[in-house]
Structure 1
Amino acid sequence: MATVVLTVAGGLIGGPFGAGLGSLIGNTIDRQLLFKQGPREGPRLADLRVQTSSYGTAVPQLFGTIRVAGSVIWATDLIEHRATEGGGKGRPSTTAYSYTASFAVALSTRPILGVGRIWADGQLLRGAAGDFKVRTGFRLYTGAEDQPVDPLIVSIEGAGKAPAHRGTAYAVFEDLELATFGNRIPQLSFEVIADAEPVPAGRIAQALGAAAEGLTTSLRGFSAQDSLRTTLDALCAATGAWVQSDGNALTLQTGPGAARAMSDGGVGADAEPTGRGVRAIAPADAAPRRLSIGYYDPARDYQAGVQQASRQGTGTRETRIDLPAVLDAGSAKAMAAGALARTDLARERRTLTLGWEALTLAPGARVTIDGAPGQWRVDRWSLENMVVKLECVPIAEAPLSGAASPGRSVPAPDSQRGSTILVPFELPPLDEVAATAPNLVVAAAGTGSGWRRAALLASGDGGASWAPAGETAYPAILGTVRVPPGPARAALIDGAGYAEVELARADMALANADMAALDAGANLAMLGDELLQFGRATNLGGNRWRLAQLWRGRRGSEAAIGTQRAGDHFVLVTRDTLKALELRVAIGATVQLLAQGSDDPIDAPAVPARSTGISLLPPSPVQLRATRQGEATRIGWTRRSRVGWVWRDGVDVPLGEESERYQVEILRGGERSVLLLDAPGLTLSAADRALPLTLTVRQLGTHGLSPAAQLSLPSLGDDR
């Protein structure tokens, strides 16, 4: 276990402090590799119904009373039996053939008390009174550590070659008649009694080597599968517990308990000292709308059963937990309702930014947070820039009761779908691959929170004809500009300017981003034709938000800085909410789009999508400069690239075009001249400088000219 190894190593290097740090790092590794929290879906129920005979197949540990198929661990070939009848008094004899088989089936790697009924191909082979319906010899070995070798196996395999399978419960069938089963070994399943009474989930965890605190949910039967993680995940899914490691042992925790009080002081340059941590609530439709529990129902001979719980509100997601456990229908329904309620509760997360005093808090620990109700569980732990960050999720106020219940749903408002809002635009390049066609995309959302997607129609002839253009992507966060951000410099962070936007719905929200997140591309947005980023988003009430700490003119869109007007569109740019339009559109051309959602009016106006060329054309040159060289003047500039947005020291950005060429327009007095150059610079003679002049430089790309960069120069004799 990484926790133990790194605890020892840290202690040797850094003493007690190093040991503590090593323990927490190791705990994180263990959690990610061995007990990483994911969707809690246990073994499929078919795992216990289908008999196997493959090498390496895991044999479960059984608890309570449960029906399992088992694994064939030894078998003979079919034995043919021949019986001849008749042949007397001139009649021909008749020879009848029958077949039997002898085999052994492993049931549990934990001792059991006995076996009740046995089914073969779904029919009873052994009844409740212990009688067999088909002739066979039968012996049961309960998994004792001193159980003997089976005599039949010894007689066939030889002395010293037959294992006793001590510690494994298994059944031996001797000469089972196969005629009823089509002369083949049937699919068997066994009613195994491992414990006389229902078993608390905590006792199961302890038997597997993990301590348990307050885990009292009783299960009539349970099958611990091939790995500790799989088993603990199944128990957690059933009870709402979670796994915690202290470096020496694993513990299953559940519900509120002893908790450490935390006060988030906002340690770190970018932390926000709220006292409650940073709060994040996922949308309501992030939680499943319907959750099903698969289980074994003793009222139906342990056949697989399904109980469901559902909630009102938005979302279409469904999830299922296959639990290798025996439950009555009422308990299974109550368990499904509890699991669904926990997924909804887990939508809220709080991130605490703390100092070194939080180093001893490992994932799984309970905490209370100043100003936040209830108790919280540390779900994730990270150490970065000497700051400890804890991601916490709420803990249910009370553990889930195992009593039968008709089930319940999580209240939620009735959300309407509403009509579709379409915002098409040409997206500047976001990666290092040169586009070959305009990157027209469309963001969409609905006027109601129940909106999900809509079909798209496109027209390239002004609406005379329409063709399908696929479906919209996931709902986007979008709206309109109310207060434009104004002019600014693209090379500097705009700390003074701000923009105000009105989102399409009140349930849409924006979030802050620190410098590292912004550098990684967070909070990228289109305001009109400008692509920018914002570090701070403040809700002004209702749908209105103020955006500040602006990074302007991103990805070559600096020409649009200051061009926004009230009413222009705002779109938060994320890859999963943008639908790329696979349309052949020339630069400067416009296509019309229509949305066909379930609640969209038939007479909805088309939305134009215009190609500006920003995804195809190179960005404008920069750093235009003039240097005197004797009587002459040297003009120079620096090119940029539409595929060179990553800063690499000592390496020039890639060209991104078929060749390097520039168009230079010189306006001198009333004269205009145009030059085509293959290098970023030219020399003007003294005669050229006799009059004031203006130079306009554009890079000539594969698909057209870049935006212009200008430089105005006085006459050579002017001392300005």
Structure 2
Amino acid sequence: MATLVLTTVGGIFGGPIGAMLGGLVGQSVDRELLFKPKGREGPRLTELALQTSSYGTPIPQLFGTMRVAGSVIWATDLVEHRQREGGKGRPTVTSYSYTASFAVALSARPILSVGRIWADGKLLRGAAGDWKARTGFRLHLGGEDQAVDPLIASAEGIALAPAHRGIAYAVFEDLELADYGNRIPSLTFEVTADTGPVSAGAVIEQVSRGAVLAGEGGPAIGGFSAYGGSVRAVVEPLAQACGAWPVIADGRLAMAAGDGASIPVRDRGADARGQERRSIATPDRAPRTVTLSHYDPARDYQAGVQRASWGGGQDRELRIELPAALSASHAKQLAHAALSRADADRTLRTVATGWEGLAIVPGARVAIDGESGRWRVVETRIEAGGVQLQLAPLAPAALAAPAVPGRVIGAPDVAQGRTIVHAFELPPLTDGALSAPRVLVAASGDAPGWRKAVLATSSDGGARWEPAGATAQPAVIGAVVTPAGAASAAIADRRSRLVVALAHEEMALGDADPEALASGTNLALVGDELIQFAQAEPLGGGQWALTGLWRGRRGTEDAIGTGRSGDRFVLIEAGAIMALDGLAGIGATLTVMATGVGDPEAVETQASVTGRSVTPPAPVALHAVPMPDGGRRLRWTRRSRIGWRWSDGSDAPLGESVERYQIRIRRAGLPDQLVSADLPELILPSEGVGTGALTIEVRQAGDLGLSPAAILVLDNEPE
């Protein structure tokens, strides 16, 4: 008796696949490729999610779209960046930051593109291609003609730098590491190697280098990572999960699957006793549960598990770890199909044919005349008088089954947006006295994902720049739509309605009660005026109406009524404001340059240093009291740059080393007259009053400069 079988290797591909890949009569098959002795097994799903940098680590061949970690194949040492802040009366603080450059191998076959990139589980690059941290990036697609990366060539030398042809890899140049504990983070990449889904057969054909043809293709999968020490390690779980099996087609080995055509056969008879030759193994010989692990694109390619079970108390289980991108419902359907095939494989039937049966090769599908169902040829036996075919039934196709993928909290993918930065000088916001002018910087972005920008400053119009660190937390920033108009700084402004448009719709403002307002809540810079607001009403589209206003706060009453549409709006909050001290003197202009991750080019703004951060506010209540001799007694009330809260009923602290005032008297047609005083009053004698209009300007002389002026106009026309 001669036998034509595909069973002698037994289990090379697992299940019915292993039961059919034995000796092939008349076939020339690369035994080293297909039947290599068992060595390294296929990958566990956890292996594909961990970045490696070890020698000898296999690089996967990617198909479709997958998320993979890759292997670090080249890296430089971390580069240390030092930055000193302080000086000019402040202690000097040196801070350190680090960057790294490295290359990560992604696929051992060419790819088309890379989408999202995760670093330590957080998005480093979003779906729109926007970066969440500063880095240079180049992608090499793995072509056989790809050039050497210029960074690697410059570091290693052009003669020693490999091009890594045939391997797709990514190069990061000076990736900022502050967000990752100053180390190279664990990276995973969303890689697209082929357009659209790929068939299981096509994957098997390419992995086997053409030794096994795609044949009927089999089911489509979203992506696959061919990762393992042998072809068997790659093909076995794929064929097992997809229900594919080998068959001889045109003298070559090919994969069969699905609902292809069947060859009709006629059973010529039973055995000598007239009985049909059929055997059915006991249920405990087949698994009662199939567990299929996979990657779920709906869960950012995190591992998912789907199960199919017959129940009945049996604990025999088949586990399949499939490094493929599958939806939960598709994985559930494959698990049910694998369970049905395992149960169907318990049945074997033998039919007798004439010599025409020699044309029916192992793996072929057949249908028995006069009977329902379809069968797969397991082996062909040649006996005296004819041919006998041993058959296994084909399980019906599994129906789509609802599946729950499980809940996952994906890394937020929000656009960084472009930087909006404002620099300004304000009166002191705390009770301490400054020793040098202070410029404040507030920055944010026009999209919710903005986090920070790198700053540099120049006091000479951009001829020379000095690094100034990074911005503070994102500030609530916008622009004035409808200005508040004129009002008094002495009482609450209950009539004005200030409308502002914030930089993006996720920014928000809130209300504040009188106690909160008294403690400094809801303080905002509007144009050049500091305003507090009690009520914030959302109008939609990022616009807010602010009412219950306290105007001209901290000595900015001179800016009341000067606002225009388009003026800046900056909510003053401690964590969102960065202070730059002593970088420019009074009368200078400080240019601030900010560069964020989403900025195509740097953004610049300027702050005029008037000294309002280090000089007293203007005196108030300037008035003239007539004297009997025709003179005038000028009186005013000083204010202080410290002690803004009037909490004890006494005068505000002086805030300067001495109390001194400069009084300028202006009269049309005559030179200005300058006098000084050590008290908040001055007597103008009658001859000094004269006739005609006088303009009186009173400034307090602080330790670092003069305050703004309190102005009084006296009209002294003769009677």
Calculate the TM-score normalised by the size of structure 2: 0.46
Calculate the TM-score normalised by the size of structure 1: 0.46
Higher relative contact order (CA 8 A, sep 6+): 2
| Greater radius of gyration (CA) | 2
